[in-house]
Amino acid sequence: MTQENLLIEIGTEELPPKALKKLSDAFTAGIVAGLEKADLAFGEVVSYAAPRRLAVMIKSVDTAQADKEVERKGPACAAPEQAVKGFAGSCGVSVDDLEKIDTPKGQWYVFRQMQKGQATAELIPAMVEESLAKLPIPKRMRWGDKTVEFVRPVHWIVMMQGESVIEGTVLDIPAGRETQGHRFHHPDTITINKPETYAAQLQESGFVYADFEARRAMVKEQAEKAAQAHGGTAVIDEDLLDEVTSLVEWPVAVVGEFDKAFLDVPSECLISAMKGHQKYFHMVDANGQLMPNFITMSNIQSTNLNSVKEGNERVIAPRLKDADFFWNQDKKKRLEDYLPALKTVVFQKQLGTTFDKVERVETLAGIVAKALNEDVANAQRAARLSKCDLMTDMVGEFPELQGIMGRYYALNDDEHANVAEAIDDQYKPRFAGDNLPETAEGRALAIADKLDTITGIYGIGQVPTGDKDPFALRRAALGVLRIMIECELDLDLKALIAESLALHDAVENKDAVAGDIYTFMMERLRAYFADQGFDATEFEAVMAISPAKPMDFAARLKAVKTFGQMPEAESLAAANKRIQNILKKNDAFGATNVDASLFEKDEESNLSKAVSDMMNEVDSFIAQANYASALQTLAGLREQVDAFFDNVMVMADDEAVKNNRLALLNQLSQRFMQVADISKLSA
């Protein structure tokens, strides 16, 4: 089978920068899936993504499908003659050309023939169309008088197999070998010689670095070197780096300056203006303090970079002036003075205003703080001020500063330092892997705020489905769990869910909703622990006893994992599974009182004595939440348990003896169930 390299490029108007990498990955995945579906072998896959192009180059692609034998199963040989003739006719042959095969149900007719493989070039256009149709594009557009739709207008298509053009039309555009270079440096077409020269030709002739990752590394390196040359360090936000990489084809770093007087404004405000509005990287000095400089990536190799610098400085100055104005204007009022305005902001139609939410969170934060033996007054004060900054001009302009500005304004008002910090902490963790609240008041507020959202939104039936989670309940749930577990907070989640639901007048059937919310949050916990290396059986073993406290859940789970690595684990897990099955089938399931006078075999008395001897020790370990030691102690029962099942018939004819043996097994099972259901560890 001959093989040649394959190149596909979609040339467009500038693609959405925040979506470029995602579109590129999806496009490549679609082409690869098409090749696999067509049973075409291929080698290395290289993706390319730049502002005006999505492309993929795949090495060593089969030039045609292999011939293969296809088989169609027909009617039984005993079927009416007309049915057999009909089947043969549908295959384009006579009955004599059909074969017979033996099956457990008798003989059947089959038709076999060799199917010649299609040329790859004939398959590619449809593959490309299918891949483009499946791209994650929320809203497609049409252009000109065309009826086709795509995320941006498409101007050219390149499809090549080896040195040959693949004939075909994609999005109403005939494929060819002509691409386009940089919009300003090389607006003319570039003729691609062969797939493997694509990236080099664009770079050398067209002023385009087509490789996204290589261009990204170049942007980062240039920014870092530019900052060093000016005595600072570039702060590279990964998301911003991706976005800037998606905006430029030929990156050139330029360092600009702004008035030092703006440094009196909180640095987060200036950084938001630079990042959010202008896509600039900011710089810090050796002490980590913001410098009056920024780094922008020009998309042209200008002969007068100073002009580019000055142009960017003119653009950023009004943004920084706005931030300075908002900062000074907002401080003219105390943070608490913004509270009444929250009555005009709807949090959710059924759940009331943001002011209503604040009052609920204030109550719940106090409950959480009291349970933690922390300062209730501070927690409630932080909750009362928690959403006030939403009504300030600064947060109105830079929504990502919510909480951060609340902290600044609270400190400006001489609020308690922990109260101010808690206002910022309420939103943590903002994303996966983010830091957790550092103050006790912040933890109480963050838990209360997130639980209020979860219970309210879930309680009115707006349950997350698929990838739709407009109120980010999954993230909120994981945030609550992380805070409770990683900050080692001894909090009863079930009780707090109930307390939060009690504050929602709009929620009906609160008991049922509470159970559903707990289950929902435990599914987030399952994923959390899976990421940490715990397997499903270990999680199920703990979940079976439904612990109310996430911190306690974590302690039990770690103990189960440790137990599972012990040599006794497999045998005891299997025995517990057997015990559970036996007890579930008998009325004596709940009995635990054992009568030694009814023992008929030594194995019964030996097991009973062993359980009794270690009962106090195990109970002591469990009372201390030392679950690992409790299971390690119980592991010492393996010999007696194995001997019992090897030599004792549980279901004895004598009813009293049988029930006594069931009670002994139940006593043993309940000892283990005080920690977890280890029967779940048995295959």
Task: Give how far Cα 665 sits from Cα of 343, 486, 589, Å.
Answer: 61, 37, 9
Closest listed residue to residue 480, CA positions, set 325, 654, 364: 364
What's the CA gap between 200 and 134, in Å, rounded? 29
3-state SS of 196-228 is HHHHHHHHHHHCCCCCHHHHHHHHHHHHHHHHH
The residue behind tokens 């790859």 is 120
**Is 425:439 a contact under the CB 8 Å cutoff?**
yes
Cβ neighbours of residue 561 closer than 8 Å, sequence gap 6 or more = 534, 538
pLDDT at residue 454 in the model? 97
Which of 151-160, 555-564, 574-583, 614-623 is least confident?
A: 574-583
The token pair that represents 170 in the structure block: 């994609």
- What average pLDDT does this structure show over 114-124? 88
How far from the centroid of its chain's Cα atoms is residue 396's Cα?
28
Cα-Cα-Cα-Cα torsion 261, 262, 267, 271, nearest 10 degrees, comes to: -140
* C-beta neighbour count of 663 within 10 angstroms: 21
Residue given tokens 């990964």 in the structure block? 238
Q: Which helix (H) or strand (E) holds 634?
A: helix 627-634
Q: Is residue 272 scored above 80 in pLDDT?
A: yes
Domains of the chain: 3-64+119-206 (3.30.70), 68-115 (no CATH), 212-330 (no CATH), 341-533 (1.10.3210), 555-681 (1.10.730.10)
Bigger pLDDT: 678 or 333? 333
Residue type, 307: S
**Residue predicted with more confidence, 165 or 583:** 165
Backbone angles phi, psi at 199, to 5 degrees: -65, -40
Looking up tokens 């101007």, which residue turns up? 155
Q: Write down the mean pLDDT value for the chain.
A: 93
Mean pLDDT of 649-663: 86
Exposed/middle/buried for 114, CB within 10 Å: 0-12, 13-18, 19+? exposed
Residue 668: strand pairing partners: none
Instruction: Please give the pLDDT value at position 590.
Output: 66
User: Within a 10 A sphere around the Cβ of 154, how many other Cβ atoms?
Assistant: 20
Q: Which of 388, 391, 392 is nearest to 419 (CA)?
A: 388
CA 313 to mean position of chain CA atoms: 38
Query: In this structure, what are the phi and psi dihedrals at residue 295, rounded to the nearest 5 degrees?
Result: -120, 125
**Is pLDDT of 328 > 90?**
yes
Q: Give percent above pLDDT 90 in the chain.
A: 72
pTM of the shown model: 0.82
- What angle separates helix 440-459 from helix 493-502, to the nearest 10 degrees? 60
Helix (H) / strand (E) element for 662: namely helix 655-673
How far apart CA 671 and CA 652 sit, in angstroms, is: 24
Number of C-alpha atoms within 13 angstroms, CB side, residue 83?
10
Count CB neighbours of 208 within 10 A: 28
For tokens 């099972």, name the residue: 669
| Percentage of the chain lying above the pLDDT 70 cut | 99
- Check whether 526 has a pLDDT greater than 60: yes
Average pLDDT of the segment spanning 208-216: 97
Q: What is the DSSP letter of 275?
A: I
Token pair belonging to 399: 């929504």
Q: Tell me the average pLDDT across 419-447.
A: 95
* C-alpha separations of 9 from 36, 119, 249, 303, 344 in Å: 19, 20, 15, 31, 51
Q: How far apart are CA 323 and CA 141, in angstroms?
A: 36
pLDDT at 410 over 80: yes
Residues in a beta bridge with 485 = none
552-604: per-residue pLDDT in tens? 999 999 999 998 999 888 888 888 888 888 887 776 456 778 888 888 888 88
Q: In 3-state terms, what secondary structure has residue 54?
A: strand
SS3 state of residue 161: strand
pLDDT band at 114 (very low <50, low <70, confident <90, very high): confident
Residue-level pLDDT at 683: 65
Q: Is the dihedral of CA 158, 159, 165, 169 positive or negative?
A: negative
Cα–Cα separations (whole angstroms), residue 316 to 88, 239, 309, 322:
77, 20, 11, 10
The answer to whether 125 and 158 have CB atoms below 8 angstroms apart is no
Q: For residues 522, 523, 524 and 529, what is the CA-based torsion angle, rounded to 10 degrees?
A: 80
pLDDT of residue 182: 95
Q: Write the CB contacts of 494 (distance below 8 Å, at least 6 apart in sequence).
A: 514, 518, 548
Quick one: which of 58, 54, 61, 59 has its CA closest to 27?
Answer: 54
The one-letter code for the residue type at 683 is: A
